[in-house]
Structure 1
Amino acid sequence: MSYALLIDAGNTRIKWALAAPGAALGDWHAQGAHLHADAADFPAALDAAARGMPIGRVLAANVAGPAVKDMLAGWLAAPQLGIDAQGVEWFASVAQRAGVRNAYRNPAQLGCDRFAAAIGAHALAPGKAIVVANCGTATTIDAITADGTFLGGMILPGLGLMATSLARNTAQLPQIKPGKLPEGFADNTDDAILTGCLAAQAGAIERAFALHRAAECIISGGAAPYVAPAVPVPHRHVDNIVMIGLHAALRCA
């Protein structure tokens, strides 16, 4: 018996999870997340979490560039982890996988995190027209049909990027931190920025939901706890939808 290791290397953080054989989607034996600046903590944290149980397969999605991929590959080859190089797969967007057909004009051009999120959303809600919103450094909003066709979607700056852009490119607007959506119209500048940024995120999700005539919306990502309460359409907050998609892809391999 051995664990499956799932890795989601995004623009801000490297997230990972260990799944035991037969585990339900999202039921991790252990998980962790490291900012890129603290990524050197990853091998020790993984070694401690595995507790001597072998890691048989690795599926890693990387959108953070070749340097991060090389760094991760070096760590996965560490002798103490005992991972066979033949068991390491770098997840990529293809024409079809795990019950999802990729209808992107050039399937390989689709970000592998978006494809994994689509697989995860379809696995959690089979037979439903779904919109999946992954609210991270960027916010991606994608549509999957009831029969598992990934139609495409939208990409916009994430909540933090929107707020930072206003702070950097205006003379008198402050940098704000995400927080609870103010009720009604904001009566101070910090809340006005937050209201505007959250309304933009929620409005894009609502538009995608209506355009797709979706039955449900799945919201994930680091900013999801702030964005989800502002979304007026039926939705659920799911942690780590990319890793759930990776897990589903491994189970179907």
Structure 2
Amino acid sequence: MSALLLVDAGNTRIKWALTSTEASLGAWTRDGAVMHADAAQLAAEWAGIAAPAAGAGAAMRVIVANVAGAAIRDTIAALLARCLPGAAVEWFASVPQRAGVANGYRNPGQLGCDRFAAAIGAHALAPGKAVIVANCGTATTIDALTADGRFLGGMILPGLGLMASALARNTAQLPQIAQDGKLPAGFADNTDDAILSGILSAQAGAIERAFALHRAAEVLVSGGASAYVAAALALPLRRIDNIVMIGLHAAARAG
């Protein structure tokens, strides 16, 4: 059995999962997440997986999707070299075609590797379906995938937290609100609810527009804010825990 470490370095957190290429899609042996500032904590986690992987008599394989910049890449590379020496490390990148997904970006390499991984994950989870993939994190990405696996492109907008922070920072009298409040029914009768209604409606409206434009069968919603955004949608949908990691797993299983 080939041990496989998947790492998704997003804009805010570094998420990871231990699995194998033979395991069912999304079946993790162990997983975790840390904020960027706490990346050093991964040393203890990853050092702990080296012995069992080696004891199984299989080489460790690592796939990393990083959209957090060069400094985080260097940090992860150093941690891997220290904790998992000899592991085969792949820095996942967007290419014209992989794991049944054809990258329709004008310049395929310009597509964020997290969006490409999410598309691969969506195609593996919903084969033969035209879907919208909404990944709701620091930024919200909304992408269209055809039933036969063609990535058409999509939308990028600020996530819930960024929208709320932008209002609080750039206006004189609007407060900073939490993004995890309950969406009010109808029109809000106080400022906090009005802000929450506005930012959730903006997210949901963009997803609904993409769904209608693509004539999709389903929306796959993922990311840290997915629970709040999904609750505002009146569409056929599935919430997926870290669809980027699912996509990395599917890419590894495809070879």
Tell me if structure 2 keeps the 8 A contact 1:178–1:194. yes
Aligned counterpart, 1:31: 31
2:75 is aligned with 1:71 = yes
Partners in 2 of 1:49 and 1:61 — Cα distance? 20
Aligned counterpart, 2:242: 240
How far off its partner does 1:43 sit? 1.6
Aligned counterpart, 2:63: 59
Aligned counterpart, 2:40: 40
2:25 is aligned with 1:17 = no
| Among 194, 198, 201, the residue aligned to 1:192 | 194
Q: Which moved more, 1:42-51 or 1:135-144?
A: 42-51
| Among 219, 222, 228, the residue aligned to 2:221 | 219
Q: Number of aligned pairs?
A: 250
State the TM-score, normalizing by the size of structure 2: 0.95
How far off its partner does 1:52 sit? 2.7
Aligned counterpart, 1:249: 251
Tell me if structure 1 keeps the 8 A contact 2:2–2:22. no
Tell me if structure 2 keeps the 8 A contact 1:129–1:216. yes
**Mapping for residues 1-253 of structure 1, pairs under 5 Å:** 1-49=1-49, 52-54=52-54, 56-78=60-82, 81-85=83-87, 87-179=88-180, 180-253=182-255
Partners in 2 of 1:140 and 1:83 — Cα distance? 35
SS of structure 2 residue aligned to 1:248: helix
Partners in 2 of 1:34 and 1:196 — Cα distance? 30
Q: Which runs of 5+ in 1 are unaligned?
A: none
Q: What CA RMSD, in Å, does the superposition of the two structures yield over aligned residues?
A: 1.2
Partners in 2 of 1:49 and 1:84 — Cα distance? 14
String of CA shifts for 1:169-204, please: whole Å, max 9, x gaps: 000000011122122211111111011000000000
Partners in 2 of 1:157 and 1:14 — Cα distance? 19
Tell me if structure 2 keeps the 8 A contact 1:30–1:49. no
How far off its partner does 1:116 sit? 0.2
Partners in 2 of 1:88 and 1:5 — Cα distance? 9
